[in-house]
Amino acid sequence: MAGRREPKGKADAERWQKRIFFCCVGGVFLLMLVLNIFTPLIADDYTYSVHRVTKEPITSFWQILSSQYSHYFEWGGRSVVHTLAQLFLWMGKPFFTFINTVAYLALTLILYAHAVLGSDRKYQPAVFLLIHLLIWFTVPVFGQTVLWLVGSCNYLWGSLIIFGFLLRYRIALTGSVRQGWWWIPLWFLFGVLAGWCNENTSGMAVMLTILFLILGKLKGQKPAAWSFAGLAGVAIGFVVMILAPGNYVRSEYFEESSNIIIRYLTRFERSTDILMDEMLVLCLAFVALYVVLLYSHATLTQKLTPLLYFLGSLACNYAMVLSPIYPARARFGVMVTLVTACLSCLVEVEKAWPRAAASKTFGMGRWAVTGCLLFTFVFSYFTASGDLFTTWRMSVAREEYIESEKAAGNLNVQVSQIVPETSYNPLYGLEDIQSDPEHWVNQAAARYFGLESIRAYE
């Protein structure tokens, strides 16, 4: 009799876990949707709303391709993500508001899959919430990389493409991946897109693809044709992006030491300082969990999988040694990979120590950490959403004023500047309309609104 009750109790527990999991997914979607609704167009959004050469509003997909052709040779090689940015600007902000919320949710679910694959428990709401909460608290400029249209396409959407591409390699380690000849061209093309997204994160994608193949070989698996096709694709996409003539044009705008040794030592020190200042807590959490994992009876695959993500995050950080600048938004790929490493290690520890993981003490401890972060998140979210609402309201009022001035025949408009308060606001760290009408943001905004000039009150 007791033997029958246990499976039923286990099934009931799994059913409740599933319900809680989907409630968490729905909750995150609604919260992010609100933030996206209150995010106006800013900064580079005005620039990418028009054709790079003609400066005319985008009216077709072919114009986007033409604009990106010029962009590749004159400014930078991130053709995939900037094509997405111009496509969304052409389709309109209301559509982007919804699809960008879906993209954030998709990224968190894909990172969740990277972390829990191979686990007996499919639905782990605490792990999903921890992924969202850790991204919220550790990404330096959340607004620039998740909410701002151009910034989101560069970092959120770029990471979505990259981790979506890598997910199949992660699934292959479990031995449950589907086969078929069509996966070969499909994963080659997917690889090209993943390699052509973002310099440091796409470089990490090449590295992790190779490491996943090596780990599969150590496990005794025979590499499939699609996996090599994907590797070829991601490598080609990365090389095409890095060799863009526009990269070298843009690099001329930054002044550095003429001594190449001093230059790279300074950049290495910069990356190390950022790691110590912004990533140390997560790094220490990973090391602590990994030591526990090493002393378990886990398999080689279980021990090495979290390490791959951790090494990937370090590579993503130190890849910026090759760049003259390291903006805060470039840390997005580093942080999401590091978060994945920590959660993957936590799941593997639970699998390696099943009795401890099944204990009430362990479960309560995990939910206690999640609960503390969630409690802090509530206050942080209300502050962030209030800041965004203020920005949105001021932006709407400004646009209405511009339209009224245009209707009155005034094409030289003066407006109030919007000042953000939190890093969850996309304007934080970016430039709003300035007092100088010749400033690039002012010129881009003037073209966007159909004005001769626009400037902010001094």
* 296-349: pLDDT as tens digits: 888 888 899 999 999 999 999 999 998 888 899 999 999 999 999 999 999 888
pLDDT grade for 6, boundaries at 50, 70 and 90 = very low
* pLDDT 10s digits, 122-166: 888 889 999 999 999 999 999 999 999 999 999 999 999 999 999
Q: What gap in Å lies between CA 362 and CA 369, rounded to an integer?
A: 11
Kindly give, in sequence order, each residue whose CB lies less than 8 Å from that of residue 119, ignoring residues fewer than 6 positions away.
347, 350, 351
- Does pLDDT of 1 surpass 70? no
pLDDT digits (tens, 9 = 90+) for 76-97: 889 999 999 999 999 999 999 9
pLDDT at residue 86 in the model: 95
Task: Please list, in sequence order, all residues whose beta carbon lies within 8 angstroms of the beta carbon of residue 434, skipping any fewer than 6 positions away.
Answer: 417, 441, 442, 455, 456
Integer angstrom CA distances of residue 343 from 48, 169, 252, 415: 37, 18, 40, 47
Q: What pLDDT score does 257 carry?
A: 64
104, two tokens: 């954030």
Query: How many of the other CB atoms lie within 10 Å of CB of 301?
Result: 16
Question: CA torsion angle for 72, 253, 314, 225 (degrees, to 10)?
Answer: 10
Mean pLDDT for the stretch of residues 266-276: 92
Q: Is the pLDDT of residue 45 over 90?
A: yes
Mind listing the pLDDT tens digit for each residue in 424-447?
A: 999 998 889 999 999 989 999 999
Residue range 402-406: average pLDDT?
92
Q: What is the pLDDT of residue 256?
A: 62
Tell which residue, 86, 83, 70, 79, has the closest CA to residue 241.
Answer: 79
Q: According to the model, what pLDDT value does residue 251 have?
A: 67
Above pLDDT 90, what percent of the chain? 65
What's the rounded Cα separation, in Å, for the pair 86 and 24? 32
Q: 261 pLDDT band (50/70/90 cuts)?
A: confident
**Per-residue model confidence as pLDDT tens digits over 165-207:** 999 999 998 877 777 888 999 999 999 999 999 989 999 999 9
% residues pLDDT > 70 (the chain)? 93
Neighbours of 30 (CB within 10 A): 9
